[in-house]
Amino acid sequence: RGRPLRRVRGRLGPAEAAPGEDTTATAQEMAHDPKNDEQLQQQQQRHVDCDYSIPLKSLDGDLSSLAPMSGAAAHTSHASSNNPAISALTARMDAEVPFQTSELSTFDACIEAADAMAANDSGRTPRNSSGGGGGGGSNNNYDSDAAAYGGFDRKTRQRICQVSFATVVFLYCFGPTLVPKIKKFLKSQNFGDFVPSVKDGKFMGRYPNSLLTLFYPYTLLRDIVLDQPIAESDVPFFWYVHKSDYEIGKKVLTDCYGLTLVELKDYDSIEKAQRMNIVSGLSRQHVIMSPHIRQVCEIFTMDNFGRMFAFFRHPLDYELVPEMPTFPDKDNYLTRLLSDVHEGPIEYKQLGIAKKVVYVTTLVGKIDRMVDSIIRWGKYWGWSFEPGKDESCVVDIVDKYNPEETYIDHESEEWKKFYQDNLLDCQLFEQSDAAWRGQIQTAIPYDIQLKRAEPSEDEEEDEDEE
């Protein structure tokens, strides 16, 4: 409030004339201008209720920022010098007496009155009017530092600092608690395209960072067709959902192929495997088995991608293992699991994510063609049967554990209701059936993968010439 004092004092009379300059004409013009007289009368009438009694004694506070200018500069003639408020202010400034905090309300009112009269004399816009914004040129007289702060006066800068500080304190105190809750709420409401944020070191995979948010964590799985041949650092991942899938897969992989299994049935074992970076010590002769697809995908890294294979079946034949999570909504279980939308409505966007998992990242098996599917897996990975074992080993195990398919009349009300409730899972099953047929030609045996990866004779000659 110190700087406005200097402005009031400067406006008590006209600016000092330069040596030899005649100001009489200007004063006369103003005196005989009826318009100026009418405006001055209105301003004085508007502030007639202002309390001009400003005490000059009993000062118990010292506001150094309100220290007035020297008394010599305060003696200027003005038509309004008979105003008691201006006289009191002038006398107090001459005495260089600081103002108390208790006097500021009265003082502010007097400033407004004096400022309005000074504005009328000079033809400028008063500082409190709509045309005199904080960044205007006239305000520089009130706060000479405003230009250095984007045109904001001192009071505005103080408010900005106070709000900024309060915001920082609020976020520091309550941010760690509120942010997870907000994210959980938005995700539960399926708000827009709410997806994880991309962070280097975590959201990695086969695509650039900008493409990871929707399909993560499946980006840490190899493309079954395009990413051939299989790298030595790739880790097989058998994802099972149903009881017979687990029993058949475990027996075949150990008894027929002699592979080493790493079973991750619960979240604690998955977390431990991720913390130990267990995939860095695995190869094609090790197979990770788990029903928790999304959590297991996150243990793979850019150095050790996963390659997934799994059985798919019609929704009528679901027999989930006990380790599988349960969802509030019981419809379209597999689509909800793969898209990570466990409750609320799901649409074709979620079905699209689930379909991409099937035909891009999964070497598909079918329960009605289990033997053929397992033989294809072995050739794709380059696995060999244990000594004394052959395809008959696979046939015997499948015959023992393979479940029978469920048949139902498609004209019955029961089927119509089931199909309506599980439409997306039925379409996902059709996608897996199409992927299985396509992989007859695209899922190439391991030895052929290696041969095709070798440079041709023409390529070798070009390299020699270079």
Q: Over the stretch 334-346, which tens digit does the pLDDT of each residue have?
A: 999 999 999 889 9
d(CA 33, CA 6): 28
Q: What are the C-alpha distances in Å from 58 to residues 51, 52, 103, 170, 222? A: 18, 17, 11, 42, 85
The strands making up 306-312's β-sheet, listed across from edge to edge, are 260-263, 286-290, 235-239, 306-312, 362-366
- Percent of the chain residues topping a pLDDT of 70: 59
* The pLDDT value given to residue 373: 95
**163 pLDDT above the threshold of 70:** yes
Out of 113-122, 388-397, 406-415, pick the least confident. 113-122
- Report residue 73's pLDDT band, with 50, 70 and 90 as the boundaries: very low
Confidence of residue 406 (pLDDT cuts 50, 70, 90): confident
Count the Cβ atoms, other than its own, within 10 Å of residue 359.
18
SS3 207: coil
Mean of pLDDT over the chain: 75
Chain centroid to CA 83:
61
Is the predicted pLDDT of residue 381 greater than 80, yes or no?
Answer: yes
Preceding peptide of 34 cis, ω within 30°:
no
Residues facing residue 238 across a β-bridge: 289, 309
- C-beta of residue 309 within 8 angstroms of C-beta of residue 363: yes
pLDDT band at 172 (very low <50, low <70, confident <90, very high): confident
- pTM score, whole prediction: 0.57
> Strand 306-312 vs strand 286-290: parallel, antiparallel, or unpaired?
unpaired
Q: Do the beta carbons of residue 243 and residue 319 sit within 8 Å? A: yes
pLDDT recorded at residue 52: 43
Q: What radius of gyration do the chain's Cα atoms show?
A: 42
Highest mean pLDDT among 79-88, 251-260, 344-353: 251-260
- What's the mean pLDDT in 67-87? 47
Task: For residues 400 and 162, give the distance between their C-alpha atoms in angstroms, rounded to a whole number.
Answer: 75
Give the list of residues 6+ apart from residue 84 with CB closer than 8 angstroms, or none.
Answer: 52
- At residue 130, what is the residue type? S
Local structure of residue 138 (DSSP, 8 states): G
Residue 185: the pLDDT is 73
Q: Among the ranges 38-47, 186-195, 366-375, which has the highest mean pLDDT value?
A: 366-375
